[in-house]
Chains A and B, each alone.
Chain A
Amino acid sequence: MTVTAVALRPSVGSTHWRAVALPIVLLLAWEFAAHAGIGDARFLPSIESVAARGWTEIVDGQLLLDIAMSLTRDIAGFIIAALIGVPVGLALGLSRFVERVFGPTFSAYRQIALFAWVPLISLWFGTGEEAKIAFVALAALNPIVFNSAEGARSIPVQYREVARVLTFDRWQLLRYVALPGAFPSIVTGLHLGLIYAWLATVGAEFFLNLGPGLGGRINEGRELFQMDLLLLCVLLLGVIGVLLNKLAGLAETRLLAWQKR
């Protein structure tokens, strides 16, 4: 899935109170409805019951373990994708030959919807950890390779000319021209890759469900009609996604600033 919510800035300035107005009104309405018994009680737990559930799950249950497992799969898959994706992307972008031979195949592979890989992966890897991590890596691979290739392709001509003047060999070209030139795009690709990886982690746990994880808890909440657990986990899902996005954004700015030096 393509993502566009990467760097959206909320409107600034004196409209601050407007920003929180709607969410607060909705939350109040929710609380009111839950307490007044409007709507199906099963489907509308009050906010404190969700919070209380969260507390019990952390203290008595294994919510923290689930989150940790999900994050581990996320990071593991992401690292694999980064290790494979950046070199492959650079090769695609730098070498005309590689682009012509492998480019079309890669384009075709990109067309296959991510979740179409789930049955294949489960048949090839079973439903254990390897399967989930493989799926996450597959998801993150897409933007990483694409952006690294884009970055390598759009290295300014002057860089290349400098390299030619200094008669760099292939490795020097890579180190002093290609990597720095493609760096911003590579970082963007990694940022997107992280987002996709989290998406895939959730999806993997949904479909390849075995072992602890946030997706498994969501399933549990659904099957047992425990709306408070379900809402709690969906909330956590979003929050972790936002945090990862923010972290990636911070890292991105940091790295780009460092490169400018």
Chain B
Amino acid sequence: MTTTSRQRRSFSRRASSNPARRSFIALAALALGVAIAAPAVADSTVIRLGYPGVGIDNRPFGYGDNISVAHIGHFIEDEFKNDPDVKIEWTFFRGAGPAVNEAIANGQLDFGAGEGDLPSIVARSKGLKTKIVLAADTRDPIYLAVKPDSGIKSIDDLKGRKVAQFRGTNLQIATDRVLEAHGLTERDIKFINLDTGNTLAALASGDIDGAFGGPEFLDLDRRGIVKVVYSTKSDDPAFGRQASLLVTEDFESRHPDLTARVVKAVVKAAQWSTDESNREAVFQGWTKSGIPVETFRADFAGVKLTDRLSPIIDEFFIARYRAQADRAKAYKLLRNDVDVDSWFEPKYLNQALAELKLEDYWPRYDANGKKVATGTVEQTQAATQ
């Protein structure tokens, strides 16, 4: 027997007066509405910069490059302070370079600010479309820190030991080169992938025998918790790392003017930070990351600020990236070849140098690291000593 249409209508009326169903629908609609409305808004342009690293206990401050100087000194914000519809957004990634890559791949960043050579090379090999517009730091040394009682005195003693290394960052490739020079490969060592925070904790508690890293260890070394037994500073400086300011091709094509101004702001920051008379001030600024000032003094001992913080994309810088790409492929960190030459876009840098009259400010080096042009910054002197 078929139900009469009247009966069927009464069924449905009773059903829609069901309170649970109605509130369910309301909730669903609300959730949907929120999901749609959230990404909307914003007539203004937001410039999203991603920095690969965090300070001690996740403080959103970096150190060791001219990007962090720009951040701490608000150089970029100052550049745009008269543009109310341009906002600057910084994000500090605990996951360092790899995390910055993920964010760029998902369209969540416009600038990889200070991304290391290896992660940006890896990203490029995967088709991530970026352009290098500025050098963030060069010749950045790496250190090997070990537990004092581990019996490790040099790289050669590392065979078979448990060592922490932040994989995928420019630390990895620098480490691999050092190992290669001493006749070792990654397989000879039990490498554990740990980020900086976890590395420090693991070293302090003795979970690992040693760790490769940056100046974070120098403080622990001073306190006797670890011993720094190796540094590329005393070895071949070509084993150092690089980092750069990258812009996504998408952002660059949509806002070449904003790109140029960001570059100009960082150049200004670099100008200030490579001036030797500002040496102490630069170190003091970096203490915002929670790392004590003595660490930076030790890290930069015997090194001129301009050697590390110059923004110039010269032959040396390009050659370093080429070499790293080669090595990365050899160490099987990459699958395909990477075209490094078409990656650099120095026109914004040159434009900024011309505008700020800084064409002769910084020295330039050739592919082998020999100086081919001196810079006026080299005549600046540190205030003390």
Physical contact A–B (CB less than 8 Å)? yes
A residues contacting B by CB (< 8 A) are 79-80, 83, 122-128, 165-167, 172, 175-176, 209-210, 216, 219-220, 222-225, 255, 258
Q: Which of A83, A124, A225 is within 8 Å of B31, CB to CB? A: A83
Q: Does B70 contact A (CB under 8 A)?
A: no
Which of A128, A176, A223 touches B57 (beta carbons < 8 Å)? Answer: A223
Contact B201 A166 (CB under 8 A): no
Which residues of A sit under 8 angstroms from B58, Cβ to Cβ? 216, 219-220
Task: Enumerate B189-247 residues with CB–CB distance to A below 8 Å.
Answer: 197-198, 200-201, 204
**Is A127 touching B95 in the complex (CB atoms < 8 A)?**
yes
A210 in contact with B201 (CB, 8 Å): no
Which of B103-111, B253-261, B360-368 forms contacts with chain A?
B103-111
- Set B3, B27, B108, B204: member contacting A128, Cβ < 8 A: B108
The listed residue (A123, A126, A175, A258) touching B108 by CB distance below 8 A is A126
B11 engages A176 (CB within 8 Å): yes
- Closest beta carbon of chain A to B256's beta carbon, Å: 26
Please tell me which one of the listed residues B2, B11, B103 contacts residue A127 in the complex, with CB atoms under 8 A apart: B103
Assembled-state Cα–Cα distance A122/B20 (Å): 36
Q: Which residues of A contact B102 (CB under 8 A)?
A: 122-123, 126-127
B136 at the interface (CB under 8 A from A): no
Known A126-B106, A223-B201; 16 more pairs at CB < 8 Å: A83-B28, A123-B102, A126-B102, A126-B105, A126-B108, A128-B108, A165-B1, A209-B94, A210-B91, A210-B99, A223-B57, A223-B197, A223-B198, A224-B57, A225-B201, A225-B204
Query: In whole angstroms, what is the CA distance A218 to B49 when docked?
Result: 27
Report the tally of A-B residue pairs with Cβ distances under 8 A. Answer: 55
Closest to A259 in B: B20
Given contacts A124-B106, A166-B3, A225-B201, contact A220 B93 (CB under 8 A): no
With the chains together, A219 CA to B198 CA distance in Å? 9
Main secondary structure of the interface of A (DSSP, over half): helix
State the CA gap A175–B57 with chains docked (Å). 54
Interface of B is mostly: helix
B15 contacts chain A at the CB level, 8 A cutoff:
yes
Q: Which of B1, B3, B28, B94 contacts A210 (CB 8 A)?
A: B94
A128 to B99, CA, bound (A): 10
A123 to B105, CA, bound (A): 8
Tell me the complex Cα distance, A223–B27, Å: 40
Could you tell me if A127 and B93 are in contact, using CB atoms closer than 8 angstroms?
Answer: yes
Bound: A220/B55 CA distance, A = 12
**Residues of chain B contacted by A123 (CB below 8 angstroms):** 102, 105
A222 touches B201 (CB 8 A): yes
- Please state if B99 and A127 are interface contacts (CB–CB under 8 Å): yes
Q: Which residues of A contact B197 (CB under 8 A)?
A: 219, 223
Q: Contact: B105 with A220, CB < 8 Å?
A: no
Contacts of B94 in A (CB 8 A): 209-210
Known contacts A127-B93, A223-B198, A79 near B31 by CB under 8 Å: yes
Of the A-B pairs whose beta carbons lie under 8 Å apart in the complex, a sample of 21, sorted by A's number, is A79-B31, A123-B105, A126-B99, A126-B108, A127-B93, A165-B1, A166-B3, A167-B2, A167-B3, A175-B15, A176-B11, A176-B15, A210-B93, A210-B99, A219-B58, A219-B197, A220-B58, A223-B57, A223-B201, A225-B204, A258-B20
Q: How far apart are A188's CB and chain B's nearest CB, in angstroms?
A: 17
> Cβ of A79: which chain B residues have Cβ within 8 Å of it?
27, 31
Given known contacts A79-B27, A223-B200, A225-B201, is B103 in contact with A126 (CB within 8 Å)? yes
A-side contacts of B106, CB under 8 Å: 124-126
Complex: A40 Cα to B15 Cα, angstroms? 64
- Measured between alpha carbons, how far is A224 from B200 in the docked complex, in Å? 10
**A-contact 0/1 string along B98-120, CB 8 Å cutoff:** 01001101101000000000000
Chain B residues with CB below 8 A from A258, complex form? 20
Question: If the complex has contacts A125-B106, A172-B11, are A220 and B57 also in contact, measured as CB distance less than 8 A?
Answer: yes
Smallest beta-carbon distance A216→chain B, Å: 7
8 cross-chain pairs, A with B, having the tightest CB-CB distances, nearest first = A126-B106, A126-B103, A223-B197, A126-B102, A223-B201, A126-B108, A220-B57, A167-B2
Q: What's the least CB distance linking B307 to chain A, in Å?
A: 32
Instruction: Give the distance to chain B from A143, nearest Cβ to Cβ, in Å.
Output: 19
Closest Cβ–Cβ distance, residue A254 to chain B (whole Å)? 11
The closest CB in chain B to the CB of A221 belongs to: B57
List, in ascending order, chain B residues with CB within 8 A of A124's CB: 106
Chain A residue nearest to B99 in the complex (CB): A127
Q: Within the complex, what minimum Cβ distance (angstroms) separates A43 from chain B?
A: 11
- How close is B347's CB to chain A, nearest CB, in angstroms? 30
